[in-house]
Amino acid sequence: VIELGTPSHSIVTTCAYCGVGCQFEAEMQGETVVRMTPWKHGKANHGHSCVKGRFAWGYTTHKDRILNPMIRESITDPWREVSWDEAITYAATRLRDLQGRHGTKAIGGITSSRCTNEETYLVQKMIRAVFGNNNTDTCARVCHSPTGYGLGRAFGTSAGTQDFDSVEHTDVVIVMGANPTDAHPVFASRLKQRLRKGAKLIVIDPRRIDLVRSPHIKAAHHLALKPGTNVAVVTSLAHVVVTEGLFDEAFIRERCDWDEFQHYAEFVADPRHSPEATEALTGVPAAELRAAARLFATGGNGSIYYGLGVTEHSQGSTTVMGIANLAMLTGNIGRPGVGVNPLRGQNNVQGSCDMGSFPHELPGYRHVSQDATRDVFEKLWGTVLDKEPGLRINNMLDAAVEGTFRGLYVQGEDILQSDPDTRHVAAGLAAMDCVIVQDLFLNETANYAHVFLPGSTFLEKDGTFTNAERRINRVRKVMTPKNGYADWEVTQLLANAMGAGWTYTHPAQVMDEIAATTPTFAGVSFDLIDEKGSVQWPCNELHPEGTPIMHVDGFVRGKGRFIVTEYVATDEKTGPRFPLLLTTGRILSQYNVGAQTRRTSNMVWHDQDVLEIHPHDAEVRGIKDGDRVRLASRSGETSLRAFVTDRVSPAGGLHHLPPSGHAGQRRHHRLLGLGDQLPGIQGDGGAGAPLQR
Ligand code: SF4
């Protein structure tokens, strides 16, 4: 029972969980949140919300929050609470000392997709202008960086093409490697409404996700591919479109590079890519795949929505480019109801990428080697910038083990918990001399930290988040930071302790700096967002009202580019020692690793992860529904409660077995796929497959 008081006032802000970007009214009694009510004017949610967002404030006041900075000489020492002054001075001194002994490039940092655009911008600015290198990376490295690369190469911009409203105009939808019902519930509701009105659905996913068959919805086709064969399936769909003459020649001639199309068409037309030739590899019946390709090419407005089941792969970028090929082949770009739409996992993963978090790109996706771009920032920041790309997270960890990378600043990201190879991350962190963690709770990465700086929640700061449709929403402070400072202020303290001399007094000034340096944000300001409710980038002189749909008259890069997508088998193979494949997924009531949602009232709906395992695999191992089972892989181990279900396929990828008596009995327990082989990644639902980066 939740006691509700009477609110004295309300403030509109944006959910800090998934990439839908729902807006809420935080109804307040003084500085206490009474409840969160979905805001009817929110352009991403139109007054709706999911169970996560409605209870999103609970973790702000949870007893586990760390509110005072802590330091320790060694990770085997106990933590010692200190003042902010002492913690910041300690961190700055250790980082500068490491640079003095090991060189400018011996330190770096990781930005957070949970923090605001302004906070992310300041972290990468600190790394580039104060640390003096490009050793910045982001948690998107383990989720949607293939989207950035793949869509950037095909279309010229690293973002989805549509707004969510576009789904109202779609006729046939591909959902690939995503489980919107659980991971993006408010968007899923809109999609289901459209499907109930007659739009056709093709699901590409090894699991029988909710969308395949739910009340009043039945997918026209469920391509239950074997994990790891995404590229082969997408290329085979394109094979059917090309060889059966179903492609949109007029669109391709006008909008795409015709020579590259011809080269690509020759590649996909090869008989080795036919559904019949790839059936054994992908596990998808050839007739089903042909029918799905025909439906997508001829069924009217075609849109593609995908998630981490596409991107969290060794061939993630290739699959994204294959999806872009499919959209261009069928002329499904540049108008309502079509397009390529990555469903971003975290609230601000789009924004963290836009803000220059990657080691090779300054804000606005401009390569660090571009003299003209560096010149803009050098003039404003008053420093000379490195023109060599920096280290990615994995490279930082490797370099730490080798002894050349010695210090790391991690803001709002638990890399030990959420990155793929736990042993690899632990080894890298353990080898460093100074790890600074800034977070709400003592997370697992903090086990290897020397400095812990308390983080602030979205309710304690001003700023902006950018959702999956490039919509920049305001985040508004509803209470004083319980830890004393918003995250952007902490970054400024650290930067200044290392000699920066920054004087920001409000995040609006940071957004003004972003607008002054980044062409796609040139027209964005807090005033404009407050006036309009939100705005979608690009927003500049050419698009003063923002851009709901991209590539309307031409692609950002000029002509759309078809890219050959050769399938390469993953290195992650089953064998006698590790006979089963594990994929990961999401559950409705929890967000990512659960650090926030497990500390809110909605945790009562689902308090632990489960292992979904097929009845056949369970039976041969003597596992019964509800048993606690231990999983071990090459990367780590864990234990989980078993949920025996035929929603997942059995080992070996056999399909179409008769349903077990357990199927569908406990619908809320849908998390993990089969067994044993892969690292414990916190992936998104869906085509989840061998996960490698
Ligand atoms: Fe909306 Fe996502 Fe928050 Fe749910 S978790 S309220 S769908 S932004």
Could you give the C-alpha distances from 227 to 102, 644, 673, in angstroms and in order? Answer: 43, 19, 10
Q: Which amino acid is at 113?
A: S
CA-CA distance, 282 to 223, in Å (whole number)? 9
Give the pLDDT score at 134. Answer: 98
Which residues, including other chains, have CB under 8 Å from residue 244's CB and lie 6 or more apart? 293, 294, 297
CB–CB of 355/121 below 8 Å? yes
Report which residue type is found at 410. Answer: V
pLDDT tens string 120-143: 999 999 999 999 999 999 987 777
486-505 confidence digits (pLDDT tens): 999 999 999 999 999 999 99
CB of 110 within 6 A of ligand 1: the answer is no
Tell me what pLDDT residue 680 has.
29
**Domains of the chain and any CATH numbers:** 9-61 (2.20.25.90), 85-140+348-460+476-495 (3.40.50.740), 145-342 (3.40.228.10), 574-676 (2.40.40.20)
Model confidence pLDDT, tens digit, residues 67-116: 999 999 999 999 999 999 999 999 999 999 999 999 999 999 999 999 99
Q: How far is the CA of 598 from the centre of ligand 1 (A)?
A: 15
47 alpha carbon – ligand 1 mean position (Å): 11
Strand order in the sheet with 221-223: 221-223, 200-204, 172-176, 302-306, 339-342
Report which of 197, 7, 43, 199 is spatially closest to residue 545, judged by C-alpha positions.
Answer: 43
- Helix (H), strand (E) at residue 619: helix 615-620
CA distance 670 to 612: 7
The per-residue pLDDT for 323 is: 97
All residue ranges of the chain with pLDDT < 70 are 1-5, 603-607, 652-693
Cβ partners under 8 Å of residue 618, min gap 6: 624, 625, 642, 644
Print burial letters for 538-553: b (CB count within 10 Å at least 16), e (below 16).
bbbeebeebbbbbbee
Instruction: Give the H or E element holding residue 343.
Output: none
Alpha carbon 509 to its chain's center: 27
The atom number, within ligand 1, closest to the CA of 51 reads 4
Q: Is the CB of 21 under 6 A from ligand 1?
A: yes
Residue 185 CB–ligand 1 contact under 6 Å: yes
Nearest Cα residue to 245 out of 296, 304, 297: 297
Query: Ligand 1 centre and the CA of 22: distance in Å?
Result: 5
CA 45 / ligand 1 centre spacing (Å): 8
State residue 655's pLDDT score.
37
Which residue's CA is the closest to the ligand 1 atom numbered 2? Answer: 18
Please report the pLDDT score of residue 573 as a whole number.
80
Q: What is the pLDDT of residue 603?
A: 66
Contact 610, 641 (CB under 8 A): yes
Distance CA(158)–CA(153), nearest Å, equals: 8
Six-digit token string for 328: 């261009």
| CB 186 less than 6 A from any atom of ligand 1 | yes
> At a CB cut-off of 8 Å and minimum separation 6, what does 131 contact?
95, 99, 104, 107, 108, 109, 498
Mutation probe of ligand 1 site: the residue of 37, 45, 52, 190 with most atoms within 8 A of C-beta: 52
Q: What six digits make up the tokens of 459?
A: 């309710």
pTM, two decimal places: 0.90
Give, using CA atoms, the residue closest to atom 3 of ligand 1. Answer: 53
Task: Round to whole Å and give the CA distance between 670 and 685.
Answer: 9
With a 6 Å cutoff on the Cβ, whether 53 touches ligand 1 is yes
